[in-house]
Structure 1
Amino acid sequence: MKAAGTVLLFLSFFRLSFSLYRKHFFVTTFMTWEDAQTYSREYHDDLSTVNIEEAKLLSANPGNHEYFWIGLHRSPDNPEQWIWSGGEDEEIDNWDIDEPNTYTENCTIVRKYNSKLHNAMCSWTLPFSCMEVFEPILVHQNKTWDEALDYCRQTYTDLASLRSQMIMAEVINKAITSKTAYVWTGLRFLAGHWFWVSGHNLRYKAWSAEGELQCPARNLRCGALDKENNIWRPNNCEDKLNFLCLKKL
């Protein structure tokens, strides 16, 4: 049994590590919170930890369900405290009005229409969101874009996708130590459009002043991060640059 859908991954879980990506997998099978946690830990990493932005994106998943589980639950040691499935303190201030509202409902759901949190009976059966956690790694080797892609996929997971302003800010901190002025990312131009090699669309964009080239020259079809100006630029795919991989934790 595999997840029915995948949504964008975002950066924000600073308590675990300096900078982490989360990739979410929406599961349409209805389970109790405990069974959903067991499933998530077997097939992914855990039930999802989310920020407000992630809650909104997960709420966009298709289906007629009104609610879905995330990893937030009441601490067994302190009924006033809410913690994530992995044991971290709750860091999201996204409760709906008058929530949480009872000490008998110890697990957390997201209400789809407004992406707000509600506490609920853990015995309810609902769809849920699992997550996998990644860390960006700067590789201090000079490789072409294709060589960098092969290296990341063989050694780690993939070339990094900079799909939000938060991710961009954290990756820039990593890129500062690069030995090259530009750093390869997972941005590529093929079949008439730019895309991330992870398969996600370009919603957030940080192009140079020239903007997103709609028909770049054949030698300028790989996307690099300009670490000094904090922008993306189309680059010659044969240039040898340092690069950013994603490492599965």
Structure 2
Amino acid sequence: MKSLLFIFLMVVGCGVAVGLTREYIFFNYYYSWYSAQSYCRQYYRDLATITSNEENEQLLRSGPSYYESWIGLTMLYTSTWTWSDGEPALLQKWNEGSPYFSLRNEEFCGAMNSNGFWINHPYWYGHPFYCYRFLILVKEKKTWEEAQEFCRTNYTGLASVTSEVSLKQLNLETVGTETESVWTGLRFMDGQWFWVNGEQLGSLVSMPSCPALSYRCGALNTTTNTLMNQNCNEKMNFVCYWK
């Protein structure tokens, strides 16, 4: 697997994309750590990786604060804590008394508590969990179709904005945009608006029910933080997601 550092330097060095912002997604399914890992790897990138205090706070804000929830922290295969995606666990946010180990030969994995600190449990415990994927601002001006093709070719697809939480996470990545609005994966077709990656429409979408033919693409205005329909042929920056 190519290192994330190499990929980061490659996209930034080419002047195409800026940064890699982790978007965290909370799921209130009570899965074992292994099952949560499998789910995240199928639909996103992996179980949540946390590499800074800022990311730790960002993850805490992206879900309910009253759950203990799996993150990607594991000691399943090594004698040191690592992340599910292979990154070393350099940051330490353990709760007082953690990590703990029983006398039994059990496999332990990490979770986050309601205060944003880490705890560990046997892998077979059922917990909600956090997945993550990357958001990437592309500072090239393209039409909606061109942006979608670029994202699908180089990453996974155009990003979606399905909630206030995902909007705040997208805001972190669009700080450096060169255009006031950025393309998202919102599209109108067959009489309805939808996200092209298949996610639920969410509460932030309030669009004309019958837009003009050329205005059937959705963009995020980074000044007003609102989704709006835009001329699909307008050339703007855009945000891809990468799983």
The TM tier, using the shorter chain, reads: 0.5 to 0.7
1:184 counterpart = 2:186:
no
Confirm or deny: 8 A CA contact 2:110 2:121 kept in the other structure.
Answer: yes
1:35-93: per-residue Cα shift (whole Å, max 9, x none)?
6699689877544459467666xx9xxxxxxx99653458967xxxx98545264769x
- Distance in 2, matches of 1:173 and 1:246, equals 13
Tell me how many residue pairs correspond in the alignment: 203
Q: 1:139 to 1:71 in 2, by over 3 A?
A: same
Name the counterpart of 1:151: 150
Confirm or deny: 8 A CA contact 2:62 2:165 kept in the other structure.
Answer: no
Bigger RCO of structures 1 and 2 (CA < 8 A, at least 6 apart): 2
Confirm or deny: 8 A CA contact 2:135 2:159 kept in the other structure.
Answer: no
Name the counterpart of 2:236: 241
- Residue 189 of structure 1 and its aligned partner are, at CA, apart by 1.3
Q: 1:214 to 1:91 in 2, by over 3 A?
A: farther
RMSD: 4.7
Range that drifts further, 233-242 or 164-173: 164-173
Name the counterpart of 1:140: 140
Confirm or deny: 8 A CA contact 1:136 1:171 kept in the other structure.
Answer: no
1:79-109: per-residue Cα shift (whole Å, max 9, x none)?
xxx98545264769xx9xxx98974274357
- Distance in 2, matches of 1:41 and 1:83, equals 17
Q: TM-score, normalised by structure 2?
A: 0.58
1:193 counterpart = 2:192:
yes
Tell me which of 223, 234, 238 is aligned to 2:218.
223
Q: 1:28 to 1:240 in 2, by over 3 A?
A: same
Confirm or deny: 8 A CA contact 1:161 1:185 kept in the other structure.
Answer: yes
Name the counterpart of 1:19: 21
Q: TM-score, normalised by structure 1?
A: 0.57
Could you tell me the percent identity over the aligned residues?
31
Give the structure with the higher percent strand: 1
Name the counterpart of 1:121: 122
Give the structure with the higher percent helix: 2
Partner-residue secondary structure (3-state), 1:20: strand
Which structure 1 segments of 5+ residues have no match? 1-16, 60-66, 111-116
